[in-house]
Structures are given as structure tokens and as C-alpha cells.
Structure 1
């Protein structure tokens, strides 16, 4: 998938929403004009009209973004291995719930972090058992090969990360009472118990950094795009994830878990 296809899919979803909102408008018009013969009932159409109009405007915006991205040429290689990329642009999937997409700066989708759902969802299991059932996420490349698995236990403030061959890579540990709150530090630990780094978050905007000994290992921030990237990603608020070039593959996979802090 390319970024213009992502914007096109998003635009089509907005257009469908706009069209669906027209049905209750037609229904209430028939009801008010021909059944009750009371024009005052037309006021019931107002929220549906606003929603339909807003969705259509969003469709026009995203469709333009798709066209702008498609017209932008790029000489970079189409697909890189996920491990070979140092910078990613992060977008939330419009079609799959709880799915985070990793795009290369050249506009090609290189990986996705998606929730692995059982036949009986984790939320239902939690309600039935009376306890917090772990959530499972998988990082897959553009060929759907599993690169890592993240087991999220919110009640314990813990994420365990496993590699492609189910080997334990490390964990993301946060204070139980402050789990997933901005501005709070979290410790990222490797499989041998050594600290990979500490997560620092901003109170006012998206800017998460994993730091070790004063050195930034990974950073997720919004509101910063180079001029070159902005040609293919017209939204200037597209989040950018950057890894230190010397970061080990296993450490990088552990650091990816910080994305769940922002998107869940």
C-alpha cells in the first residue's frame, strides 16, 4: 500500500458516511411533509445534515490529499526491511480497528501494529472472568510476516515483547496507578534485565522519547515534517517515529511498545 491509497480509502469512508447520513434526512422529510404535515419536524434533519456535510467536506479534503500524494514522484526504493528503516510516519488505520500503520518517507507501507483478536474478544473475557484479560498485538511487515508480539496487561502496567520466533525480548513497565498517563516516566527493559531506556512524555503535545544515559534512542512526535516528506504526506501533523541508527534490532522492537501508549 502507498500513502495515496491510504488517503483514498479514508476519503471513500468519509463519502460513504456522508451518503448514509442522507437516508434519515429523506425519512424525516417524508415523515414531516407527507405524514404529519408539520414542517417544524424538519428541524430533526439538522444534526444529520451537519454530519453529512462535514463528512463530505472531509471526503474532498482527503481525496485532494490522495491526488497530491499520487502526483509526487519519489526515486527511493519501494520497500525496505522494517529493520533497515530508521524513520517512519505513523497513521491509524481507518479500516481496521486498533491498527497502527508504519509508512516509509517515500510513501510506502512497510509494517503494521495490529491487535490479534480471538473469537471471544479480550474485553468480553475480562467481563466474564472479572479480571483484566491480556491484549495481544502483532507487528507485521508488508508481507504479513510477524516481526514481534506485544502482550499488554493494563492492570499491572506491563507490556511484554516477544520476537519473531517467540523469544522474550524485554518489557515496558509503567507505574500501576499511572499507567498510560502523559508526563510519567516508564522503564523499558531488555530480556536480560538491563535497562534499555526511560520513556519521557510531554504534557501538552505528542512528544515521547526513550532516553538512555542522556542519549535519545527513539522519539515519537507530531507537528514536524520535512518539506520533502510533506509533499507525500500533506497532513503536517502526521506523527514521526525515529530510531537511533545504532539501536539493536531487539531494542527497537521493545521501543515500539511506546506507540500503544499514545494510540490506546
Structure 2
């Protein structure tokens, strides 16, 4: 999948949601139109209609974004696709999922990986997040070919990470320390300062050196040729991080963005 296909997918999802939102009002009018005053019925139907209208506008917006990429002739780089764990800069988008489906793109607009539920049980789509939290939340970190790089099990105490390539396991314990979120893995310690609008997350190591950063509303102009949403989150890694360190950072961000599009 590339970013153009993502916009088309989200446009299709939005138009389906827009139509689905009109189903309850139709049946309510059919059954209760003569039993209740019209004023009450209209007030009850307004939220459904507004939601349907909003979804339709999102559909139009994403169709336009996809069309703009076509007009600009989507770049097909001759360079070999880089692996997920060799990227320094990534764009993050979210698709509907029971808990999380975070799709990762390189600056050229090519999908290089994904973090998603390992089991998409259908009934979980209809559960509010506070009920879904009662179930084990096991996510997978996949590369562009859907090969598993690591699995994540999230609970209240922290994160259990199982690395696919060497069968090693680690536990990251999370806790709050004033205005910071702290993640500990043995001798390794990561911290993130809380932000009010969640527009700038900086991950610091035990020496308070920044090793990764996720920002919204910040993007190079050339990346904007493919990513038509200027608020697309950008994840940047500092040089010299190992593959395992990057997987830990992906796991931490997965916990921060759970139920982003539930």
C-alpha cells in the first residue's frame, strides 16, 4: 500500500460510515413517526445526520487528497525499498481497528511497516475502549511484507515484547513520574514529557538525550507532495539506534496511541 491507496481506502470507509449512520434514522422515522411529536424525533435524529455529514466530508477530502497525488504523478523511486528498522523518518497514519492499526510510510509515500492487532475479533469492533481494555491487547509490529518483527502484549503494568528474529523477550515497565511517563527495561530507561495537545513527543534515554521524536504539524515541503494532510505525524529517530531500540520505541508509541481510531 502507498499513501494514495491509503487515502482511497479511508475515503471508502468514510462513505460507508456516512451511509450506515443514516440507517437508524430511517428505521426510527418508519416506526415512530406517528407515535412521537416530530420536534422530538428531529432532535433525536440530528446527531446521526451530523455524523453522516461529517463522514461524507471526510470522504470528499480524502478523495481530493488521492486525486492530487495522481495529478503530481506519484514518485516511484528506483532505490530499493528500505526495511522498517533502517528508517530515520517515518510518517504515521491510523486506520480503524479494535485497538490500534498504525500504518508507517517512508517520505516517498511507500508503506514500510504496520503496527496492528494480531487478532481482529469482530465483536471487539463494537466494544467501547474501557471494556476492550479487559481483553489481552496483543499487537504485532510488521514490515512492508507483513513479516512479524516483534509482538507486543500490553497490560496495566507495562509491555511484554517478543522479538521474532532471536526469540528473545523483554518487559518494559511503565509508570508516572511527575509530568513524565517513564519506561524501564532493566538498566535502560526511557522517559517522555507529557504534552497537553499531544503534538510533540520526545523520547529521552537515561542520560536525557533525545533518541526519538514524534511531531504533528511539522513536515518538509517535499514530503508534502505525497502527504496531503499537513498534520500527518512524523516520527524521527536519532542516528545509531539499534533495531531492538527502535522496536522498543515503536512499542512505547503503540501504548500511547491505543484506540486512536477505535
Alignment partners' CA distance in 2, 1:132 and 1:24 = 29
Q: CA deviation at 1:140?
A: 0.8
Alignment partners' CA distance in 2, 1:258 and 1:105 = 22
Question: What CA deviation, in whole Å up to 9, does each residue of 1:76-130 have, x standing for no partner?
Answer: 347321122111111112366521111111111111111223879999xxx9xxx
Structure 1: gaps of 5 or more residues: none
When normalised by structure 1's length, the TM-score is 0.79
177, 184, 198: which is aligned to 2:190? 198
Contact 1:4 1:66 in 2 (8 A): yes
Q: Tell me how many residue pairs correspond in the alignment.
A: 247
Aligned to 2:257: 263
* SS of residue paired to 2:253: helix
Contact 1:100 1:114 in 2 (8 A): yes
Aligned to 1:208: 201
Q: 1:153 to 1:51 in 2, by over 3 A?
A: closer
Contact 2:69 2:225 in 1 (8 A): yes
Alignment partners' CA distance in 2, 1:16 and 1:228 = 32
* SS of residue paired to 2:180: coil
Aligned to 1:183: 179
Q: 1:37 to 1:198 in 2, by over 3 A?
A: closer
Q: 1:22 to 1:185 in 2, by over 3 A?
A: closer
Alignment partners' CA distance in 1, 2:121 and 2:60 = 37
Tell whether 2:242 aligns with 1:241.
no
Structure 1 vs Structure 2 CA RMSD: 3.2
Q: 1:188 to 1:64 in 2, by over 3 A?
A: farther
When normalised by structure 2's length, the TM-score is 0.80
Compare relative contact order (CA 8 Å, sep 6+) and give the higher one, 1 or 2: 2
Tell whether 2:7 aligns with 1:7.
yes
Aligned to 2:20: 20
Alignment partners' CA distance in 1, 2:30 and 2:154 = 50
* SS of residue paired to 1:227: coil
* SS of residue paired to 2:179: coil
Aligned to 2:162: 162
92, 95, 98: which is aligned to 1:93? 95
